[in-house]
C-alpha cells in the first residue's frame, strides 16, 4: 500500500500539534515565568564568558555583605581615629605622671638624657606621621578629559583608571596606587600618604616596644603588689599607690599587645615595599605568577627596581643626607612621581644613585 503525500503531511502535523497542546494545558502563569526568566538570567550572568572565575562568582554572591561592611567601616572611621587618640594620650599621660618622676629619681644622668631624648623624638614622629596620614589625600585620578595614559575603565566610577589605580568602596572613588583602606586613619592609603602610613606604623611599633622593654620590671613589681596572698596580710598601699600600679599594668599590657600586632603588620608592609608592590598588587601578582608558570614563563613585577631602590623611591631619598632629614626626621616632601605614570624597567636599574 502506497502512502499518499497528503496523508504523510497530515500525520506529521498531528505529531507536532500534540506537544503544543500539552504545553498549552500545562502553561505556567505569566508572573511565575517572569520570575523564572529573571533567575535564569542571574544564574547565567555568573558564567557569561570564559574570563569569569571563582572570584567573580564570590564577589557577585557576597556583594550585599561587602556593601554592608563598607558602610559600617565608613561610619566607624571617626570612632577608630578617636580611639587611637585616646589610647595614645592615656599612655602619654602615664609616661609623664608616673614614669618620668621614677626615671628622674632612680636613673643616672646619662640614662635620663637617653630616655627623655628618645621618648620625645619617638612621640614627635608618631604624632607627625599620624596627622599627615589622616589629613593627606591618597591621590585621585583626574575627572576631566586629559592625555594621561590609562589601562582600564572603572566599572563603578565609569572613568579611566591609570596603572596601579583601584576603586575604594568605602571612599567611593578611585585611588592612585591604592594599598588598602585603613579604618584607623579613616582614610585610604595611596600614592601620596603611603609613606606617612608606614612611618606611623614603624615608629608606633618602636614606641610600644620601648615602653614594653623599659617598663618590664615596673610591671612585674606592680603585678606582684596587687596580687592577693591569703597567707600574709596585704601591705598597706594607699589609693594613689594602687592607681599607679594599675596604670603601669595597663600601659605594659596595651603597649605589648599593640607592639606585637602592629609589628607584624609593619613587617608585612616592609616586605611589600621591598618587592615594589602594594597589598592589592600582591594578590594580583600572585595570580599572574601562577598563570605565567602554567605557560612555562616567569612573571616579573614591572614596578620593582630592586630592594634598595624600592626603599629609595618609597622614602624619596635622592641624596645621602635624605636618609636623616626625610626618614629619621619629620618631612612633608611629596613622593616620587605623580601617581599617574610609572617608570617601568625590564631589569633592575639604579633609579636613584645614592
Which pLDDT belongs to residue 39? 87
Does residue 1 have a pLDDT over 70? Answer: no
Per-residue pLDDT at 349 exceeds 80: no
112-168 pLDDT tens trace: 999 999 999 999 999 999 999 999 999 999 888 777 788 888 888 888 899 999 999
| Catalytic option among 182, 188, 201, 211 | 182
pTM for the model stands at 0.78
Catalytic (active site) residue 182: yes
- pLDDT digit string, tens, across residues 210-266: 999 998 998 998 888 876 554 555 566 787 888 888 999 999 999 999 999 999 999
76 vs 276: which has the higher pLDDT: 276
Domain spans, the chain: 78-137+190-328
Average pLDDT score over the chain: 84
Chain segment 77-99, per-residue pLDDT in tens = 889 999 999 999 999 999 999 98
At residue 191, the pLDDT reads 96
Mean pLDDT to the nearest integer, 315-331: 94
**Residue range 26-39: mean pLDDT, rounded:** 85
For residues 82 and 74, give the distance between their C-alpha atoms in angstroms, rounded to a whole number.
Answer: 14
Contact 279, 179 (CB under 8 A): yes
Amino acid at each position: 500500500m502506497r502512502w499518499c503525500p497528503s496523508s504523510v503531511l497530515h500525520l506529521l502535523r498531528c505529531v507536532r500539534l500534540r506537544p503544543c497542546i500539552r504545553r498549552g494545558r500545562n502553561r505556567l502563569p505569566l508572573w511565575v515565568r517572569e520570575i523564572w526568566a529573571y533567575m535564569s538570567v542571574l544564574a547565567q550572568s555568573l558564567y557569561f564568558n570564559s574570563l569569569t572565575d571563582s572570584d567573580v562568582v564570590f564577589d557577585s554572591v557576597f556583594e550585599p555583605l561587602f556593601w554592608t561592611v563598607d558602610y559600617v567601616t565608613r561610619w566607624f572611621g571617626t570612632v577608630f581615629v578617636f580611639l587611637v587618640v585616646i589610647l595614645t594620650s592615656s599612655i602619654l599621660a602615664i609616661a609623664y605622671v608616673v614614669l618620668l618622676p621614677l626615671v628622674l629619681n632612680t636613673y643616672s644622668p646619662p640614662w635620663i638624657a637617653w630616655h627623655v631624648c628618645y621618648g620625645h623624638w619617638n612621640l614627635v614622629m608618631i604624632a607627625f606621621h599620624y596627622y599627615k596620614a589622616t589629613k593627606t589625600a591618597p591621590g585621585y585620578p583626574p575627572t576631566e578629559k586629559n592625555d594621561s595614559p590609562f589601562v582600564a575603565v572603572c566599572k563603578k566610577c565609569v572613568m579611566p583608571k591609570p596603572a596601579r589605580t583601584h576603586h575604594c568602596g568605602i571612599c567611593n572613588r578611585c585611588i592612585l596606587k591604592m594599598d588598602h583602606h585603613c579604618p584607623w586613619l579613616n582614610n585610604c592609603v595611596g600614592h601620596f600618604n603611603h609613606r606617612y602610613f608606614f612611618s606611623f606604623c614603624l615608629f608606633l611599633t618602636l614606641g610600644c616596644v620601648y615602653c614594653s622593654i623599659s617598663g618590664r620590671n615596673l610591671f612585674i613589681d606592680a603585678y606582684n603588689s596587687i596580687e592577693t596572698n591569703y597567707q600574709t596580710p596585704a601591705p598597706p598601699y594607699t589609693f594613689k599607690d594602687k592607681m599607679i600600679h594599675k596604670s603601669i599594668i595597663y600601659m605594659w599590657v596595651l603597649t605589648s599587645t599593640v607592639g606585637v600586632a602592629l609589628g607584624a603588620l609593619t613587617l608585612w608592609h616592609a616586605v611589600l615595599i621591598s618587592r615594589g608592590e602594594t597589598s592589592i598588587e600582591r594578590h594580583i601578582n600572585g595570580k599572574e605568577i601562577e598563570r605565567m608558570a602554567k605557560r612555562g614563563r616567569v612573571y616579573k613585577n614591572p614596578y620593582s627596581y630592586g630592594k634598595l631602590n624600592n626603599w629609595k623611591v618609597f622614602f624619596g631619598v635622592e641624596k645621602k643626607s635624605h636618609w636623616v632629614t626625610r626618614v629619621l626626621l619629620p618631612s612633608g616632601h611629596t613622593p616620587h612621581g605623580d601617581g599617574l605614570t610609572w617608570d617601568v624597567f625590564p631589569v633592575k636599574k639604579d633609579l636613584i644613585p645614592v
